Amino acid sequence: MSGAIQRLKSAIADDERAELALESRQYLRGHRMESGSGLSQRAWPLLDMMRQAHIQNADIMWGL
C-alpha cells in the first residue's frame, strides 16, 4: 500500500506542475483559464482513504 500511496502522490505532484505550466502559458497569451478538475483535485479523497487503510491495515473496497 505504501508504494501505491507514493506513486499517487507523485502523480498528483506531476499533475499540479503540468497544470501550473499550462495556466502560465494561457496567462501569457491573454487567455483566462478555468480552474481544472485534474488528477491533483480528484485524487485527494482516494489518497486519504489509502492512508487510513494503510494505518489500519485494512482493505479498500470499491463499489459501484
Is residue 29 predicted with pLDDT exceeding 80?
no
Q: Who wins on pLDDT, 13 or 24? A: 13
Is residue 33 predicted with pLDDT exceeding 60?
no
Q: Is residue 64 a part of any domain in this protein?
A: no
Q: Is residue 40 a part of any domain in this protein?
A: yes
Q: Is residue 62 a part of any domain in this protein?
A: no
Residue range 5-24: average pLDDT? 89
Nearest to 5 by CA among 58, 44, 56, 63: 44
Range of the domain at 30: 2-55
Q: Is residue 61 a part of any domain in this protein?
A: no
Q: Is residue 60 a part of any domain in this protein?
A: no
- pLDDT for 62 equals 76
DSSP letter for 56, please.
T
Domain tally for the chain? 1
